Structure 1
Amino acid sequence: MKKSSIHSLQDARNLAKKKLPSMIFDYVDGVALEGDGDYSNSEYFRTLKLSQNVLAGGGPKKISKRILGQSYDLPFGIAPMGMCNLVSSKADVAIGKLAKKFNVPVCFSTMASTSLEKTLRVTGDLGWFQLYVYDDLESGLKLAKRAQTAGYKTLILTVDVPELGRRPKELKHNFSAKFRPSYKQILDCAMHPKWSLDLLINGIPRPQNFDKDLKIDRNKPRGAADWEFLKKLREIWKGKLVIKGILNPKDALKLERLGADAIYVSGHGSRQFDSCPVPIHQLAKIRRSLKKSTVLIYDTGIRNGEDILKALCSGADFVMIGKQALFSIAAEGFEGLVQMTNNLKKEIEIAMAQMGTFDINLLDTSNLESTFKLK
């Protein structure tokens, strides 16, 4: 295996920018409106500091986690992302292979360009499925049943896209799931021959989890689901049910009472709502509002292993990685994804050594310091 050139999120992002046409890179990289939400979350992460404790001795670090009835070797997995195969025709498969290699959960989106049945064949029980509900509630329930029949044990219902956010970097390319490039974009593709050859050989990625006669429009609202729909979904879904996109402690408390198996605190990678509450700040507030036994999953703004620890100290039981994974695949394929995972793992272990802690499951707010007071 060649020596990796990915040592950080920025390395992966820079390499991806070189290797992808600008319309594809901007689709992955884009955030809502002015990017204030992305900036605020990143700045808040920077204010959080991990406590240092010296002379704690040496020894192996326990970084495995058990959530939702299953044990994982690492405290993080891969978040659901739509149309991953735009960065590489093998992206979905690479994510599935990563699950097997590291024994971590990976979640595939309703908008995936590989069918939910095919991805599950790669991951086995390590695969989760994420559900979007458009204006047809019955179609949403039908897709959930299809995932259950396929063998998925964990379903994530995403609830923070009532309307698709405006992402200027993406909009300037007139990007759509139909993927019909303009002449200017064709020239851009020609400047990236390896990516273009992959596209020509394997075809243009399309969403694969919809009925063939259903017209797909990624700009359609995804907010038809309400509390009554959630009750119906809870009735039919026999596995673990996770609700994603929660930033309000009151919503989290209501979900806990309705029987959600986990609450997924997320700002959707800062891609939907520029003025939303700062996700990493809300995580601690939500944790305090819920039972200790209620599982919290977190994503948004994770840059490195220390950020993963900050999220765990703030109350998360598990962390999911988003666009960093796509950048790594675009940069170096599956090996880039492996290097990203190894980097995060090593960064976690180094930070735990500095913190004088040997079991990641014992972390809490006492291991966290901040220049801002968590309210």
Structure 2
Amino acid sequence: DSFNAFMSLNERAARSALLDIQKALGPFRNERVLAATAVTDMAISSLQRRSVTIYLAPNITDMTVLRPLLTLFVQQVMDLLTREHNPDALPVYFLLDEFRQLKKMDEILNKLPYVAGYNIKMAFVVQDLKCIDEIYGETARHSLLGNCGLQLILGANDQVTAEYASRALGKRTIRYQSETRTLELFGRARRTRVEQIRERDLMMPQEVRQMREDKAILLVEGQRPILASKLRYHAIEPFKTAALASRQNTVPVPDVEMARALPVPATLPDYAVDGPDPRPGRIELDRHEVIDDAAFEASSAENVDAAVSSKERLVVTARKLKSVIAACLSAADMPMNQRISIQDVLAKTIPDPEEVGLD
């Protein structure tokens, strides 16, 4: 159906669609990408049957090339896990760090409201809310945050995020007392105290931006907001000892070339046969073969003579072929019984192996 729809487009629309297709298939021009996606040793459906951890950690320099593949993988996993409902399935946790780098994924937002019914949890990590607005828009951002039952704000360096955190924290009631003094007749002083009850933001936007580095705001659905202290694993026991032991007992990982090494075409034995004829005077040497200058000059002369004689024989055969074809064309109007058979034509036009030096 997609192919028929493409064929029914006009020329201008087809050209635009073709450019989009070429752009989408651009990563597969890379041989390493082809080698990595040609086979797989895991089944995505096994994520809900046994404990499996999948890491997607590309280099920063490769994000431009691999971004479409990462987006495709995440959407494909989400589609397969939500295809059938299995109440006994193991929970699956998606931790999408640098969510902005994956660009727009409408499939994620569409399935986010009901993934919890499939025992799937998702965590999105972004630098600020403007990152979501740039890709999905402000309306989609409100929908995304509305489906997050837990929100952890580690800090805010922009006004939009600070204002959102301030509104999410809510307000508190504070009491104000004011005192005024007046002088009455005969110089008597009179004091008046007024107490007022007002509302104030629990944390104003500027206070959110000025929050200490070791503090974090935790917003949990159905609970009051929490001003928590960050857990510094490298400074707090027993995590500090565990992290130190992990760094001191690292498992050596050998360097592995993931892509299959492809040979250089010029080093293949059939390259000289399938490729262009070697230049006159050029001879092929074995890797460990060493010849002197005299042997090289003698071999070059023999190759030149062989090339010239072979060319002369081919010229003679070509002239014979041309004359036979001309004679056949001139006799095309003769009756059928007078025409020569195809075997006779082939016998006269196709040279014998001895004529071209293939004996």
What is the TM-score when the length of structure 1 is the normalising length? Answer: 0.23
Bigger radius of gyration among the two: 2
Higher relative contact order (CA 8 A, sep 6+): 1
Q: Counting helix residues as a fraction of each chain, which structure ranks higher?
A: 2
